[in-house]
Amino acid sequence: ETGVTQTPRHLVMGMTNKKSLKCEQHLGHNAMYWYKQSAKKPLELMFVYSLEERVENNSVPSRFSPECPNSSHLFLHLHTLQPEDSALYLCASSQERGNYGYTFGSGTRLTVV
C-alpha cells in the first residue's frame, strides 16, 4: 500500500445518481489533493485542501463537491455527472509547504453512463 487509500477502485454511475469517492492517508500529511486524469490528457488539479481548508478550486463544475472533515480524510461528492466526467480520479497527499513530494493513491476509475 502507498499510504494513501482510495475507495472504491471502480465506480459505474448513472447521470442522475449521487455517489462519493473516499481518500484516506495515514502519513501525517496536512495537504490533500484531487486530480482528474482523462484518457490521453495530462493530470488536471481539481481541488486542494491545506490544513483542512480548501485553498484552490480550479473552475471545477459544481456537480463535483469536495469535503475534508479532517487532515486524514478527503471526499469527492458526485451528483448529476455527465459522460465526459468519466475518468480516473486520483487523490494525493503531501506536507503543505517545503521540500516534500506527493504520495498518490491508486485511483478510482469512474464511468458515467
Partner 1 sequence: KQEVTQIPAALSVPEGENLVLNCSFTDSAIYNLQWFRQDPGKGLTSLLLIQSSQREQTSGRLNASLDKSSGRSTLYIAASQPGDSATYLCAVRPLLYNNNDMRFGAGTRLTVKP
Helices (H), strands (E): how many in the chain?
A: 0, 11
CA dist 29 and 26 (Å) reads: 8
Return all residues near 11 (Cβ < 8 A) that are at least 6 apart.
19, 21, 108, 109, 110, 111
Closest to partner 1 by CB, 16 vs 99, is: 99
Measured CA to CA, the distance from residue 64 to residue 95 in angstroms comes to 24
Site string for partner 1, 16-55 (x = CB under 8 A): -----------------x--------xx-x--x-------
Work out which of 2, 7, 57, 82 binds partner 1, going by CB under 8 A: 2
Binder among 90, 93, 110, 112 for partner 1 (CB under 8 A):
90
Is it true that the peptide bond before 8 is cis, omega within 30 degrees of 0? yes
Select 80 or 102, whichever has its Cβ closest to partner 1. Answer: 102
* Residues contributing to the site for partner 1 (CB under 8 A): 2, 4, 6, 33, 42-43, 45, 48, 56, 88, 90, 92, 94, 97-107, 109
